[in-house]
């Protein structure tokens, strides 16, 4: 027999596991929604690209991102199934225990009823009391009979409670099994789509392989433009360091900044990574490149002051907004709606993205700096 204290510890441990699993399942559900939204936005862009006659480098970037997101979504469903299996095992154990307890309670209750019925044939309550030899003995018999009736009533209530627990656990078990089966179906569905995406990527990459000289020329142009932008930022930071920065709560906004474009898809991540087509070629990004699937309006991600509006050959126009010690950069703008020295608020429209010819058409280049340090914007934007 398990000692009371040990039993309490076991129950507490199981409750803790259940709480952690519930939290983990909620986290996974949130991640599923985030990844699914990114896939949906990427699908809109790819549908738009499919109407174009020639293969676009950005379509390959978007497709690469969609493939990564599908892999992540499949992994999330696998994690969910693992947690669900743990829950299902615990629920089955709980149901078996409740069924065993209920069977025992019903047997005990049946014995009580049978015993009561047999005793009624021998004597009734009045004879039970009058048969006492003294008043005190009669009172003790009255208390005993009252406690017996209360116990029998409580046994009936306990049976009802256990029956309800069993019913609730069974409903929850069926719900978990349904979610698990749905997750298995989604894995199969996403795996099929993943294989289709990979075949499409292979075809698109082969089409652009014949244009390697053009890709290298475009890459050199972009590097030159981004270097000019970096030099402009460094020069501006040097000038701003001589002036006192206005107080800002920008540092509190990590992972909660709104996206500068709606329904954005990141087509080029922060830092160094492999070129999507050119083998053995690395590209380095001081920020992220974002393409919107619904609008070309660009909005400020935080309140601040427009410090510069500068032309960047190869990246059209750039707007630099200061937020205390932090700086946000919006490049590749075709039209700018703000001026130097102007105050902007969160989500103020500052311009529209360039939509002409070239690989940077429809793409916003977005950077975040803390003084002279480049930060990964993806870690600051809300998921």
- Where does the pLDDT of residue 211 fall: very low under 50, low under 70, confident under 90, or very high at 90 and above? confident
Cα 195 to Cα 34, 47, 84, 177, 190, distances in angstroms: 21, 18, 27, 27, 9
pLDDT, residue 115, reads 64
> pLDDT, tens digit, for every residue of 304-350?
999 999 998 878 999 999 999 999 999 999 999 999 999 999 889 99
* CB-based burial, 280-316: b 16+ in 10 Å, e otherwise: eeebebbbbbbbbbeebbbbbbbbbbbbbbbebebbb
pLDDT, residue 2, reads 43
pLDDT, residue 120, reads 55
Single out the residue of 49, 145, 151, 162 nearest to residue 102, CA to CA: 162
Q: What is the mean pLDDT of residues 205-229?
A: 85
Token pair for residue 213? 């000289």
Token pair for residue 67? 């493939």
Q: What is the mean pLDDT of the chain?
A: 82
CB 35 within 8 A of CB 77: no
pLDDT at 93 over 80: yes
pLDDT, residue 135, reads 57
CB 325 within 8 A of CB 372: no
- Where does the pLDDT of residue 50 fall: very low under 50, low under 70, confident under 90, or very high at 90 and above? confident
pLDDT, residue 109, reads 64
For the chain, give the percent of residues with pLDDT over 70.
79
H helices present in the chain, as ranges: 4-50, 57-122, 125-130, 135-209, 212-240
Q: How far apart are CA 149 and CA 143, in angstroms?
A: 10
pLDDT, residue 141, reads 53
pLDDT, residue 321, reads 95
Instruction: Work out whether strand 304-311 and strand 317-323 pair parallel, antiparallel, or are unpaired.
Output: antiparallel
pLDDT at 112 over 80: no
pLDDT, residue 338, reads 95
pLDDT, residue 74, reads 94
- R_g (Cα) of the chain, nearest Å: 35
> pLDDT, tens digit, for every residue of 234-290?
988 888 777 777 788 999 999 999 999 988 899 999 999 888 888 888 889 999 999
Token pair for residue 314? 């190869």
Q: What is the mean pLDDT of residues 217-226?
A: 86
- Where does the pLDDT of residue 161 fall: very low under 50, low under 70, confident under 90, or very high at 90 and above? confident
CB 285 within 8 A of CB 267: no
When mean pLDDT is compared across 153-167, 186-200, 236-250, 367-381, the lowest value belongs to 153-167
Read off the pTM. Answer: 0.73
The number of residues in the chain equals 383
Q: Which residue has the higher pLDDT, 145 or 107?
A: 107
Domains of the chain: 4-208 (1.10.287), 211-379 (2.70.70.10)
Cα 173 to Cα 60, 81, 178, 278, 380, distances in angstroms: 43, 14, 9, 51, 39
> pLDDT, tens digit, for every residue of 339-369?
999 999 988 999 999 987 777 788 999 999 9
């Amino acid at each position: 027999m398990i000692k009371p204290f040990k039993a309490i510890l076991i129950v507490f441990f199981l409750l803790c596991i259940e709480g952690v699993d519930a939290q983990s399942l909620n986290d996974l559900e949130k991640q599923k929604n985030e990844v699914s939204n990114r896939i949906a936005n990427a699908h809109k862009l790819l549908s738009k690209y499919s109407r174009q006659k020639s293969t676009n480098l950005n379509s390959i970037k978007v497709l690469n991102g969609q493939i990564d997101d599908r892999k992540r979504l499949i992994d999330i469903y696998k994690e969910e199934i693992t947690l669900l299996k743990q829950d299902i095992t615990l629920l089955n154990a709980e149901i078996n225990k409740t069924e065993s307890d209920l069977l025992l309670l019903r047997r005990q209750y049946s014995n009580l009823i049978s015993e009561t019925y047999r005793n009624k044939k021998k004597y009734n309550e009045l004879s039970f009391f009058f048969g006492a030899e003294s008043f005190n003995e009669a009172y003790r018999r009255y208390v005993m009979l009252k406690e017996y009736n209360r116990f029998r009533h409580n046994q009936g209530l306990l049976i009802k409670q256990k029956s309800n627990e069993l019913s609730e656990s069974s409903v929850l078990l069926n719900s978990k099994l349904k979610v698990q089966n749905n997750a298995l179906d989604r894995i199969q569905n996403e795996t099929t789509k993943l294989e289709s995406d990979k075949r499409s990527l292979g075809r698109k990459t082969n089409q652009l392989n014949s244009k390697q000289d053009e890709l290298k020329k475009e890459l050199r142009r972009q590097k030159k433009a981004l270097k000019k932008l970096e030099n402009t930022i460094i020069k501006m930071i040097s000038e701003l360091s001589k002036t006192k920065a206005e107080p800002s709560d920008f540092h509190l906004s990590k992972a909660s900044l709104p996206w500068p474009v709606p329904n954005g898809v990141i087509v080029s991540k922060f830092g160094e990574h492999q070129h999507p087509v050119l083998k053995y070629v690395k590209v380095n990004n001081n920020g992220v490149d974002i393409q919107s699937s619904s609008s070309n309006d660009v909005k400020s991600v935080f309140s601040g002051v427009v410090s510069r509006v500068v032309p960047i050959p190869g990246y059209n126009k750039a707007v630099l907004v200061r937020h205390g010690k932090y700086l946000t950069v919006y490049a590749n703008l075709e039209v700018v709606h703000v001026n130097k020295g102007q105050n902007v608020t969160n989500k103020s429209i500052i311009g529209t993205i360039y939509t002409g010819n070239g690989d940077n058409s429809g793409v916003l280049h977005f950077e975040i700096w803390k003084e002279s340090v480049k930060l990964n914007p993806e870690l600051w934007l809300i998921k």
